[in-house]
């Protein structure tokens, strides 16, 4: 037995044991009743009780059982069990009435009586119930044949029984018409019931076979006992409680068991499809033969009845002659119907055979029948079109000789496994192999295999194009379409396979991550087509530089990778040196000039190396190589860097700080400070520059440059956090400026934004307009400093944005003027109101004559263009004097005041001005961070001695008092 079959057998064990227990209990009860009847029950009264009320109780049990089953089950057989319940109830009532006369009243049962009425009502419901249980004919001819078969059986039994007993009863024992009719009714109903039992025995429904068999057995036993009861010999000597009652008793209990036994069998069949599909192959031919011989056997019985009368020398009764003639006529009619049916079936079979032959002959698939020895017995004509070989050429050849030797073992194994499996569980199987064509090439063939009486049927089709397409799709899914190198998915799979192989901890295995430095510049200068050509050439160089067993891949963009397999060496230092030399050669190879469209293009390569170690997964190994590559780029590019554990620690530290920064942004840990912008002519505060500070847990305020530097990871999330910070800075600055304006301090506020941020679609113009309207900030009170001029930013889009902002009353300042190659271009094209000198120019304006001239020229440009000029980072009085002498109009820096909180800013605005060197001393702003410019008056000449304020690092600012 197969493993699934053994499991099913074990599963069915409890159910089969329960069914056997029920059958055993049924046999014991029936046996006990038979033994009691055979021994006379010990007394005449007990025999009468058991013979009457015992049979009534058994029939009542059958009625209740069938009724309960019919209520519990919803199926098309439900009316049959209801009819059996009615039939058994009639039998129970008849036996109860019989017992009333014999046991209660103590006298013989009259004839006829109510008991006879109930007994006669037993037959019709049982007959109709059998019809419901039977498999219904699908045609009218089938119904006619069923009726004829029933009459053949019933007529033959009537002929035989009439000749033996019924004629004598009808002619000699009939004292009255009612008594004669009653005497004939019992055997006639029994004959009808026997006829239905025999006729339906061969037509029982396969869906409820166990219930039909059990019900037929129960009714057959009842009919047999009725036949014995109506015989003259037993009828004269019958007394209640005799052994004949045991047959009726067993029939009732068997009918009570029939539906529930069928239910258990159905459950077993559902849980074991293997057993349901495997019957005894010899049972069907025998059953079919008996079903076909039934009409002839019935005619033979009828003939025996007639011959009995002739041999005995008695005159043949007219009933026998009439019944025999109708039986013969029914047999002739039935044979005629069967002959017509056979002719139509033969024609239909011929049509179907021609139909299937045409399907096979015209099918594009090749249909082959192979004998158990593997020799081809039939090949369809489609072989010439599919295999390029004629069907006659293939017939008689060995199937194994046509299959590719590399595929033959797998085909034989699959065929053996398929033949060993159950046909019910696995009717077909599928095999793919290479098949030799007439031209000698190998074709990919897919075959559906079915069992056949003389071997196997192969339904084969050519799938060569599909296999090629699948291989091409698989290649495209695993390779880069531009360079045809393995992509990230295939590279990751090979790294995983290498680490999980027979030498998973080979320390010589290394992964190289390669990034082309300067590739974006090639795209910007020469276009993306030139960049693609550079990538193709770089991929070719990379592929030629690695060994045949190694893997070179393109991960995306200008990032490449290489998997260098280990050699099993134990000297880790030597292996690291070898891989480092390979990486250096690869760096030099990739850094050689590229010839693209007649132009010589140069790029460099930054390479990171990571070695496989014990416990390192493929994900960790690739991540380590990536970290080493980024360290090489951060260290100056065009270099090779070996992974070290501290790189991962640095990444973790940056990630934690970035998370802390994001949390601080959402928890309101940022503070907004303002640095006054002072007029160098009057010393008055003309505007304030908003600056964000992050208050750490130690009470230190970090500048934007510092907290963005510690979280600089170079990813997209960083730009998102920068945008969030810029949005917060703009909203807070506008809100506080509006509050100061309502308090009477009408001083514009300057907010620094990058050019990329200004053209970003996440900051639409209507949001700025809505912000100004919501807080009621007057026109001209907001100045936006253009922080940088990224060459990748479209000047047209930036110009449109700035023009739209100016229409809203927002003034534009160009920050960092004097640095960057795009500053003059920005000044020429963009609508700028204020020029802000770069801090680098201001720091050296006193010491460097060259910077002095440059700064002076820039200030003249601003003056000629009618723009205000603001010097950023003015920290010492000497710078104030020099800038004012050059014509600079405004300045901000530690020479006047550091960034102030809102409280100190309002104090400064109340005072209104700061002391300017070279002018009359003004009151000192006490308490400002960094202090304002202290002034001491000298002796009698009235000159001023200016002391430099103490220098304070821009990295941190003490937290101002609240």
Instruction: Give the mean pLDDT of 591-608.
Output: 91
Q: How far apart are the first and last CA of the chain?
A: 89
Higher-confidence position of 409 and 920? 409
Instruction: Give the mean pLDDT of 643-658.
Output: 78
Handedness of CA 53, 58, 64, 66 (dihedral sign): negative
The set of residues, in sequence order, having a beta carbon less than 8 Å from that of 296 and lying 6+ positions away, is 331
Among 218-227, 240-249, 421-430, 741-750, the least confident range: 218-227
Among 107-116, 185-194, 323-332, 510-519, the least confident range: 185-194
| pLDDT of res. 25 | 85
Instruction: Give the mean pLDDT of 798-805.
Output: 88
Pairing of strands 782-786, 811-817: parallel
Return mean pLDDT, the chain: 76
Give the pTM.
0.47
Residue 524 has pLDDT above 50, yes or no: yes
Residue 566 has pLDDT above 90, yes or no: no
H helices present in 39-113, as ranges: 44-49, 55-72, 78-99
List, for residues 654-707, the tens digit of each pLDDT value: 777 667 777 777 777 788 999 999 999 899 999 999 998 887 666 677 776 666
Pairing of strands 376-379, 811-817: unpaired
Distance CA 629, CA 626 (A): 5
Helix (H) or strand (E) holding 457: strand 455-462
**3 state SS of 784:** strand
Torsion from C-alpha of 704, 705, 707, 713, nearest 10 degrees: 130
Handedness of CA 169, 171, 177, 181 (dihedral sign): positive
Long-range contacts of the stretch 530-533 (C-beta < 8 A, 24+): 530/596, 530/597, 530/599, 530/601, 532/482, 533/594, 533/596, 533/597
| pLDDT of res. 42 | 78
| pLDDT of res. 198 | 55
Higher-confidence position of 293 and 61? 61
Distance of CA 783 to the CA centre of its chain: 55
Higher-confidence position of 312 and 799? 799
DSSP per-residue string spanning 325-389: HHHHHHHHHHHHHHHHHHHHHHHHHHHHHHHHHHHHHH-SSEEEEE-TTSBEEEE-TTHHHHTSS
Residue with tokens 């940022």: 670
The set of residues, in sequence order, having a beta carbon less than 8 Å from that of 710 and lying 6+ positions away, is 654, 657
Distance CA 706, CA 13 (A): 78
Of 738, 717, 496, 715, the residue nearest 618 (C-alpha): 496
Distance CA 291, CA 727 (A): 94
Higher-confidence position of 601 and 106? 601
Handedness of CA 772, 777, 778, 782 (dihedral sign): negative
Residue 645 has pLDDT above 90, yes or no: no
Please answer whether residues 751 and 799 qualify as being in contact, where contact means their C-beta atoms are separated by less than 8 angstroms: no
Please answer whether residues 462 and 434 qualify as being in contact, where contact means their C-beta atoms are separated by less than 8 angstroms: no
The set of residues, in sequence order, having a beta carbon less than 8 Å from that of 850 and lying 6+ positions away, is none
Of 827, 838, 748, 760, the residue nearest 792 (C-alpha): 760
For residue 52, the 8-state DSSP code is: I
Distance CA 621, CA 579 (A): 15
Higher-confidence position of 429 and 795? 429
Of 86, 110, 83, 94, the residue nearest 56 (C-alpha): 94
Higher-confidence position of 748 and 670? 748
For residue 961, the 8-state DSSP code is: P
Among 86-100, 598-612, 686-700, the least confident range: 686-700
Residue 737 has pLDDT above 70, yes or no: yes
Q: Around Cβ 399, how many Cβ atoms within 10 Å?
A: 21
Please answer whether residues 122 and 91 qualify as being in contact, where contact means their C-beta atoms are separated by less than 8 angstroms: yes
Instruction: Give the mean pLDDT of 542-565.
Output: 91
Instruction: Give the mean pLDDT of 154-163.
Output: 57
For residue 684, the 8-state DSSP code is: B
Cis omega before residue 610 (within 30°)? no
Instruction: Give the mean pLDDT of 752-778.
Output: 83
53-62 core/surface letters (b: 16 or more CB in 10 A; e: else) = bbbbbbbbbb
CA-to-CA dists, residue 622 to 240, 607, 853, angstroms: 97, 13, 53
Pairing of strands 868-872, 834-837: parallel
List, for residues 492-507, the tens digit of each pLDDT value: 999 998 887 655 556 6
| pLDDT of res. 190 | 58
| pLDDT of res. 269 | 45
Residue 429 has pLDDT above 80, yes or no: yes
Which range has the top average pLDDT, 7-11, 47-51, 140-144, 921-925?
47-51
Distance CA 481, CA 932 (A): 65
- Res. 276 pLDDT band, cuts 50 70 90: very low
Residue 282 has pLDDT above 60, yes or no: no
Residue with tokens 């489609």: 382
Residue 326 has pLDDT above 70, yes or no: yes
| pLDDT of res. 483 | 92
Q: Around Cβ 925, how many Cβ atoms within 10 Å?
A: 20
Distance CA 514, CA 584 (A): 11
Q: List the Cα angle 249/252/253 in 5-degree steps.
A: 85
Residue 94 has pLDDT above 70, yes or no: yes
CA-to-CA dists, residue 350 to 138, 339, 345, 347, 826, angstroms: 22, 17, 9, 5, 93
Burial class (CB in 10 A: 0-12, 13-18, 19+), 174: middle
- Res. 389 pLDDT band, cuts 50 70 90: confident
Residue 594 has pLDDT above 90, yes or no: yes
CA-to-CA dists, residue 322 to 66, 164, 311, angstroms: 40, 16, 19
**3 state SS of 674:** strand
| pLDDT of res. 697 | 67
Residue 382 has pLDDT above 80, yes or no: yes
């Amino acid at each position: 037995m197969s493993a699934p079959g053994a499991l099913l057998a074990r599963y069915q064990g409890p159910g089969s044991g329960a069914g056997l227990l029920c059958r055993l209990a049924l046999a014991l009860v029936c046996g006990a009743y038979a033994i009691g009847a055979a021994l006379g029950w010990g007394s005449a009264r007990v025999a009468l009780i058991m013979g009457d009320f015992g049979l009534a109780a058994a029939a009542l049990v059958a009625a209740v059982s069938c009724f309960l089953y019919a209520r519990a089950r919803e199926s098309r057989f439900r009316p049959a069990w209801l009819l059996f319940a009615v039939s058994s109830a009639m039998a129970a009532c008849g036996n109860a009435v019989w017992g009333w006369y014999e046991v209660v009243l103590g006298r013989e049962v009259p004839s006829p009586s109510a008991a006879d009425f109930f007994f006669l009502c037993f037959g019709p419901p049982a007959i109709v119930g059998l019809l419901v249980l039977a498999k219904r004919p699908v045609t009218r001819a089938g119904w006619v044949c069923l009726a004829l078969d029933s009459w053949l059986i019933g007529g033959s039994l009537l002929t035989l029984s009439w000749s033996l007993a019924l004629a004598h009863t009808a002619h000699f024992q009939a004292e009255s018409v009612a008594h004669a009719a009653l005497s004939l009714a019992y055997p006639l109903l029994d004959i009808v019931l026997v006829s239905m039992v025999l006729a339906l025995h061969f037509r029982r429904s396969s869906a409820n076979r166990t219930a039909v068999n059990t019900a037929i057995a129960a009714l057959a036993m009842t009919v047999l006992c009725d036949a014995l009861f109506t015989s003259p010999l037993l009828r004269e000597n019958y007394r209640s409680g005799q052994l004949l009652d045991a047959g009726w008793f067993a029939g009732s209990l068997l009918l009570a068991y029939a539906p529930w036994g069928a239910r258990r069998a159905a459950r077993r069949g559902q849980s074991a499809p293997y057993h349901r599909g495997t019957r005894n192959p010899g049972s069907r031919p025998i059953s079919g033969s008996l079903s076909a011989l039934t009409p002839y056997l019935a005619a033979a019985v009828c003939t025996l009845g007639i011959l009995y009368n002739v041999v005995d020398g008695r005159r043949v009764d007219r009933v026998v002659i009439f019944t025999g003639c109708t039986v013969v006529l029914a047999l002739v009619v039935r044979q005629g119907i069967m002959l017509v049916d056979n002719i139509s079936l033969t024609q239909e079979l011929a049509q179907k055979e021609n139909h299937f032959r045409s399907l096979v002959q015209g099918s594009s698939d090749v249909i082959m029948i192979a004998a158990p020895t593997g020799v081809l017995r039939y090949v369809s004509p489609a072989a010439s079109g599919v295999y390029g070989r004629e069907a006659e050429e293939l017939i008689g050849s060995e199937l194994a000789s046509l299959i590719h030797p590399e595929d033959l073992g797998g085909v034989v194994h699959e065929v053996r496994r398929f033949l060993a499996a159950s046909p019910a569980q696995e009717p077909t199987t599928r095999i793919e192999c290479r098949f030799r064509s007439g031209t000698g090439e190998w074709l990919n063939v897919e075959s559906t295999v079915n069992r056949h009486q003389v071997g196997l049927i192969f339904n084969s089709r050519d799938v060569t194009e599909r296999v090629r397409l699948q291989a091409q799709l698989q290649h495209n899914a695993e390779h880069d379409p531009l360079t045809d190198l393995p992509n990230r998915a295939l590279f990751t799979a090979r790294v995983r396979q290498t680490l999980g192989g027979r030498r998973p901890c080979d320390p010589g295995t290394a992964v190289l991550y390669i990034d082309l430095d300067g590739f974006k510049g090639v795209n910007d200068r020469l276009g993306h087509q030139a960049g693609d050509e550079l990538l193709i050439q770089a991929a070719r160089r990379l592929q030629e530089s690695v060994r045949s067993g190694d893997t070179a891949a393109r991960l995306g963009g200008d990032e490449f990778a290489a998997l260098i397999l280990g050699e099993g060496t134990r000297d880790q230092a030597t292996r690291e040196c070898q891989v480092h030399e390979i990486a250096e050669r690869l760096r030099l190879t990739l850094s050689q000039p590229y010839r693209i469209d007649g132009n010589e293009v140069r790029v460099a390569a930054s390479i990171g190396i990571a070695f496989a170690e014990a416990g390192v997964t493929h994900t960790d190994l690739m991540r380590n190589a990536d970290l080493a590559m980024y360290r090489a780029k951060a260290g100056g590019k065009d270099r090779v860097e070996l992974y070290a554990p501290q790189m991962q620690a640095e990444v973790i530290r940056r990630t934690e700080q970035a998370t802390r920064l994001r949390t601080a942004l959402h928890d309101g840990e940022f503070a907004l400070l303002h640095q006054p912008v002072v007029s160098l002519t009057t010393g008055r505060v003309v505007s304030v520059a908003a600056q964000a500070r992050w208050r750490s847990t130690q009470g230190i305020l970090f500048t934007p440059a510092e907290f963005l530097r510690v979280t600089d990871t170079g990813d997209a999330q960083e730009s998102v956090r920068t945008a969030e910070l810029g949005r917060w800075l703009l909203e807070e600055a506008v809100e506080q400026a509006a509050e100061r304006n309502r308090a009477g301090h009408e001083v514009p506020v300057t907010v620094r934004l990058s050019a990329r941020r200004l053209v970003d679609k996440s900051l639409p113009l209507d949001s700025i307009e809505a912000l100004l309207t919501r807080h009621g900030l007057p026109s001209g009170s907001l100045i936006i400093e253009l922080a940088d001029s990224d060459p990748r930013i479209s000047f047209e889009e930036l110009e449109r944005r700035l023009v739209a902002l100016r229409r809203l009353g927002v003034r534009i300042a160009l920050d960092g003027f004097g640095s960057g190659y795009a500053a003059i271009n920005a000044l020429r094209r963009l609508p700028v109101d204020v020029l802000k000198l770069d801090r680098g120019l201001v720091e050296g304006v006193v010491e460097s004559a060259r910077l002095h001239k440059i700064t002076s020229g820039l200030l003249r440009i601003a003056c000629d263009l009618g723009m205000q000029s603001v010097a950023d980072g003015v920290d010492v009085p000497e710078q104030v004097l020099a800038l004012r002498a050059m014509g600079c109009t405004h300045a901000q820096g530690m020479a006047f005041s550091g960034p102030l909180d809102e409280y100190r800013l309002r104090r400064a605005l109340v005072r209104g001005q700061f002391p300017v060197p070279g002018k009359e001393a003004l009151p000192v702003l006490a308490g400002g961070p960094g202090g304002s410019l202290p002034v001491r008056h000298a002796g009698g000449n009235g000159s001023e001695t200016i002391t430099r304020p103490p220098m304070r690092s821009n990295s941190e600012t003490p937290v101002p008092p609240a």
